[in-house]
Structure 1
Amino acid sequence: MGIKRSLVLFLSSYGCFLFGQEKVVDTIYIFDSQMNKVKLFHPVKTISTEDAQKNSSNLSELLRFQSAVYIKENGRGAVSSPSFRGTTAQQTAFVWNGININSNFLGQGDINNISLFGYDQIGIKAGGGSVTYGSGAIGGSIHLNNNLDFNKGFHGTLFSEVASFNTYNNLLKGAYSNEKFSFKASGNYSVSENDYEVKEAKSYINRNGQYYNTNFNIAAAYKIAPHHQVSWISEFFNGQQHYPVLFDNETETKYRTQNVRSLISWDWNKTQFNNSFKAAYTEENFQYFAKADGPQTSGGTGKNYILKNDFNYFFNSKWNFNVIGEYQLNKGEGYGSGIDHVSRNMGSVSGLLRYFPATDLRLEAGIRKDFVGKISSPVLFSFSGKWNAVDWYTLGLSVSRNFRAPSFNDLYWQPGGNMDLKPETSYQFELRNQFKVGDLQMSVAPFYLDIRDMIRWLPTFSGYYSPVNTDHVRSYGVEAQMEYMKRFGKHLLKGSLGYTYTNSQDLEKKKQLMYVPFHKFTGNIDYQYEFIKVYVQGLFNGLTYTDSNEKRSEALENYFVMNAGLGLTFHKEYTIGFKVNNVFNQVYYTMFAYPLPKRNYSVSLNINF
């Protein structure tokens, strides 16, 4: 009975469906079956739907103010890319319900072409994770997760917001569940003229900056037998961005994208083992218009067919063995890029062994081998440990080898594609120190990354650019986080403060990489009294170079930006919100020549039913 009880406690932390003595214990079903296992060893910052509404403009704004990630954005709502711990956008994995969705062509995700709403949680994990999540998970990963619950009946949410620059955000979400069946659907529509002005920045006007996007999610789960469940989720995204121009006489351009993602899962859960089998299809379509009112000039279609199996076996209360197998068929067809019909087979096998010798100690070791077409991929490994040394102090250790496979553009773009490219590889080390004193929690995590064979596009003697394995980059620094929560009577106070120092250098030039700030601070304070909620957000970003030679005249100066919001809730179901972004009217950039908006406002209504 002791072993079974320990197993049940261990499994419950996974968020799985448990079957102790042939009796079902209902929990929330999470499509990413690995996420709660990852959380046993690594901190994952989780952003709820309510927190996402504080930064409702787009996913870029959310990550900028609520995470340690640096976001480079070519003007609000335009092309946007992340940087974890001094790495590049290609070295960040976007994971949708356990499936890597980085573009086949670019090898990265465009943040502003990923919906902010429609997910139940957004998870942010710093550090390498290729053993679990594959190519691109070098600097970190961003997780877009949905879940389904049972025995909750019907409930829904309507969120509607009107903001500056003729911006409108609308979300409608509904769910129904009983003992065996769960269903959820949501729709989101965002549109903006986005014509803000920044007179102090050479009288900048965000010309041709308008955008819109729609996103639909639908999910269902059914318990077909006591230990078996089938689940399905699909997402449909359609968006259009106009790219800002600096002068009236410049040609206006635009970009359209349509993405489809669909996943079917069969889960078999017993006390001693559980197995999750997934079949997924993802598709990306994009079109670029060199003249906004003209015909398409380039584009592409990428399709991925994915099979994935995740098997867990529990030898006893101390030992757990996990095997993950995955197969992908990647297809691509370019337009205006010289890429014809291309395809490649990708497969991987991962094994993870977890050991729990005591209640205050847990260890995990993993190994993975990828098979990527004709590319020679390295053997990857990971080791993680977590030790609750005393009541107020926990020590965590993480060591791993990670990689990124070349993208279709790297391999096949004409002219310039290089079929002889090697994958990028990295070694990562992190030592996390966590402290807890009363209602205050703190963590300090030094980190170190060594990245080899970084793929960079360089000019050739023939006059065009071609990718080669050149750079050797070392990045080191520290991430610190402090959180406080106190409830006294009808009052609730929550606060968080984060700091990141990053030194990331090309070892040949001995210079800081471009668009990697040395310092970043984020702070959030929430206060609630009965029906009143107030919050304040702060962001400080240090000096950021925009070229590879540390040219001071073209660097982005440090800045501090603060947002504030107020929410009033009536009858527990109706909330009226008012928000001021950039309270101090700061002029600031995350990308050279493209300032972000000064002070702006929004009013919102949220109804729960």
Structure 2
Amino acid sequence: YKLNDNNVLKIYSQFYEDDRHFSLINPTDSKSKYQNLNTRNLADLTTFLGSFTSNIKVGFLSEKYKYFGNISKDNFTYGHVETLLAKYNLNYKFNADIQTDFVADFTQNKGNGSDIKEDKRTISGFAIQYKHRINSLLSYDWSIRKEITNNYKSPILFSVGANFKPTDFYTLKVNVSQNFRIPTFNDLYWQGAGNVDLKPEKSIQAEIGNVFRVNNFTFSATFFHSKINDMISWVPQKGGIFMPLNTNRVSILGGELELNYQKKIYKHFFDFNTNYSYTKSENEKTNKQLIFVPYHKATASLAYNYNRLNVFYQYLWNGEVFTQTDNNPKKVIANYMVSNVGFSLDCDAQKKYSIGFKILNLWNENYESVENRPLPGRNYTLNLTLNF
């Protein structure tokens, strides 16, 4: 909603409820299910004042769940987390080539449930970002950030990057950053599996990207390397129960290739994208690949647009993964292929109303991404979107 020439207000609200039945590992297992009730609300106000642009966001999230270990009984465990979010961003443009941002944010989580008497976590963060376009060939940016929380000590985080474009055909991108992630409420308190002794995850990573553009084609080759201390990952325990644990040191090395082609013929627009990635993610102590992390992964998508009609096809190929930390070749989940197809149609010229339909797992593939947890066969989604 445009309040006036200088102020724009946006409001978002989302409601989600589901009732999921879990697949059985053994035919004799009790049937179980999981109920979710989630709401998300956000208000966003942007103000334009000359060279300054001010943006403030305030949000409230509510997440509730019930877990029934046996659906034939009324007994259940539960959890409820309420999250208050606030973020302020002040942007100042010195000129067309230089700009800076000051960012302050606040997050408060309050949870209770079967395994949580009541816990509250508050995180405040402050950041400064700077971008400078030196000339048509070279630009760079940097940022620093500090978080303050009552639960964990956070280091000063940073990111430094640069773009070099010697020709219209080629662009070189480099970036180095330090990151930090604290355990989520699910990591700490999930019924029967949470781990309150988890340490926060720290990492430093570097990335080099090469982008080539020819006519309607864009090809990119990206190489990355990161070192992670106390990586948080969910690992299977006895009885098939997963539990989050810290892996002391992890090294991730890999590359990604991506090809994009776009073409517009009168009112017909075509967009094709394909991606391949190779990821070597090893525990430095054992030199073994992390479980459930594929070496190889490929995706592709084709989209078509004509006036109010959008049609798409998606493809995923996921390489085999190890299910045990010793990388036993007999204990793997085989590679699988999954495809989705669908369309959406805007019902009016202003795009206030749209309907959509999707067929997920189009070829009815029988597959798993986690051991003994088969994923749905062919399934269908129908949606209606209203924009006010």
Question: Between Structure 1 and Structure 2, how many residues are aligned?
Answer: 381
Match of 2:48 in 1: 269
CA contact (8 A) 1:566 1:579 kept: no
Q: Per-residue CA shift, 1:357-379, capped at 9, x if unaligned?
A: 12343211000111111421111
Residues 274 and 546 from structure 1, CA distance in 2 versus in 1: closer, same or farther, beyond 3 angstroms? same
CA contact (8 A) 1:372 1:405 kept: no
CA contact (8 A) 2:126 2:145 kept: yes
Residues 467 and 292 from structure 1, CA distance in 2 versus in 1: closer, same or farther, beyond 3 angstroms? closer
What is the CA distance between 1:420 and its match in structure 2? 6.5
Answer 1 or 2: which has greater strand percent.
2
Q: What is the rounded CA distance, in whole Å, between the counterparts of 1:402 and 1:603 in structure 2? A: 37
Residues 264 and 493 from structure 1, CA distance in 2 versus in 1: closer, same or farther, beyond 3 angstroms? closer
Residues 244 and 322 from structure 1, CA distance in 2 versus in 1: closer, same or farther, beyond 3 angstroms? same
Picking from 236, 259, 263, the partner of 2:38 is 259
What is the CA distance between 1:511 and its match in structure 2? 0.8
Question: What amino acid maps onto 2:143 in structure 1?
Answer: G
What is the CA distance between 1:586 and its match in structure 2? 4.4
Alignment of 1:398-437 (within 5 A): 398-408=175-185, 421-437=198-214
Picking from 171, 175, 185, the partner of 1:394 is 171
What is the CA distance between 1:505 and its match in structure 2? 0.7
Verify: 1:368 aligned to 2:150, yes or no: no
Picking from 248, 261, 267, the partner of 1:484 is 261
Match of 2:292 in 1: 515
1:389 partner SS = coil
Q: Per-residue CA shift, 1:453-490, capped at 9, x if unaligned?
A: 22468999xxx999764421111111111011233467
Match of 2:80 in 1: 301
Residues 395 and 285 from structure 1, CA distance in 2 versus in 1: closer, same or farther, beyond 3 angstroms? same
Q: What is the rounded CA distance, in whole Å, between the counterparts of 1:587 and 1:457 in structure 2? A: 24
Question: What amino acid maps onto 1:363 in structure 2?
Answer: Y
CA contact (8 A) 2:24 2:373 kept: no
Residues 581 and 346 from structure 1, CA distance in 2 versus in 1: closer, same or farther, beyond 3 angstroms? closer
Q: What is the rounded CA distance, in whole Å, between the counterparts of 1:279 and 1:235 in structure 2? A: 15
What is the CA distance between 1:539 and its match in structure 2? 2.5
CA contact (8 A) 1:502 1:519 kept: yes
Q: Per-residue CA shift, 1:126-168, capped at 9, x if unaligned?
A: xxxxxxxxxxxxxxxxxxxxxxxxxxxxxxxxxxxxxxxxxxx
Match of 1:13 in 2: none
Answer 1 or 2: which has greater helix percent.
1
Alignment of 1:198-213 (within 5 A): none
1:589 partner SS = coil
Residues 395 and 576 from structure 1, CA distance in 2 versus in 1: closer, same or farther, beyond 3 angstroms? closer
Match of 1:503 in 2: 280
Residues 441 and 342 from structure 1, CA distance in 2 versus in 1: closer, same or farther, beyond 3 angstroms? same
2:91 partner SS = strand
Question: What amino acid maps onto 1:308 in structure 2?
Answer: K
Residues 568 and 231 from structure 1, CA distance in 2 versus in 1: closer, same or farther, beyond 3 angstroms? closer
What is the CA distance between 1:333 and its match in structure 2? 0.9
Question: What amino acid maps onto 2:368 in structure 1?
Answer: Y
Match of 2:121 in 1: 344
1:595 partner SS = coil
**Which shows bigger deviation, 564-573 or 263-272?**
564-573
Picking from 258, 282, 286, the partner of 2:65 is 286
What is the CA distance between 1:559 and its match in structure 2? 3.1
Q: Per-residue CA shift, 1:381-421, capped at 9, x if unaligned?
A: 01122222211111111211111113346556899987775
Match of 1:44 in 2: none
Q: Comparing both chains, which one has the higher relative contact order based on Cα–Cα distances under 8 Å and sequence gaps of 6 or more?
A: 1
Verify: 1:440 aligned to 2:217, yes or no: yes
Residues 236 and 316 from structure 1, CA distance in 2 versus in 1: closer, same or farther, beyond 3 angstroms? same
Match of 1:118 in 2: none
Q: Per-residue CA shift, 1:88-136, capped at 9, x if unaligned?
A: xxxxxxxxxxxxxxxxxxxxxxxxxxxxxxxxxxxxxxxxxxxxxxxxx
**Which shows bigger deviation, 249-258 or 434-443?**
249-258
Question: What amino acid maps onto 2:23 in structure 1?
Answer: P
Percent identity over the alignment? 30
Q: What is the rounded CA distance, in whole Å, between the counterparts of 1:426 and 1:518 in structure 2? A: 20
What is the CA distance between 1:529 and its match in structure 2? 8.6
Question: What amino acid maps onto 1:510 in structure 2?
Answer: N
2:263 partner SS = strand
Q: What is the rounded CA distance, in whole Å, between the counterparts of 2:248 and 2:266 in structure 1? A: 57
**Which shows bigger deviation, 572-581 or 395-404?**
572-581
Residues 253 and 601 from structure 1, CA distance in 2 versus in 1: closer, same or farther, beyond 3 angstroms? closer
Alignment of 1:98-497 (within 5 A): 221-223=1-3, 225-335=4-114, 337=115, 339-408=116-185, 421-455=198-232, 469-488=246-265, 492-497=269-274
CA contact (8 A) 1:455 1:471 kept: no
Q: What is the rounded CA distance, in whole Å, between the counterparts of 1:419 and 1:607 in structure 2? A: 40
What is the CA distance between 1:507 and its match in structure 2? 0.9
Q: What is the rounded CA distance, in whole Å, between the counterparts of 2:384 and 2:151 in structure 1? A: 52
What is the CA distance between 1:528 and its match in structure 2? 7.1
What is the CA distance between 1:332 and its match in structure 2? 1.2
2:227 partner SS = strand
What is the CA distance between 1:321 and its match in structure 2? 1.5
Verify: 1:594 aligned to 2:379, yes or no: no
1:509 partner SS = coil
TM-score (norm. length: structure 1)? 0.55
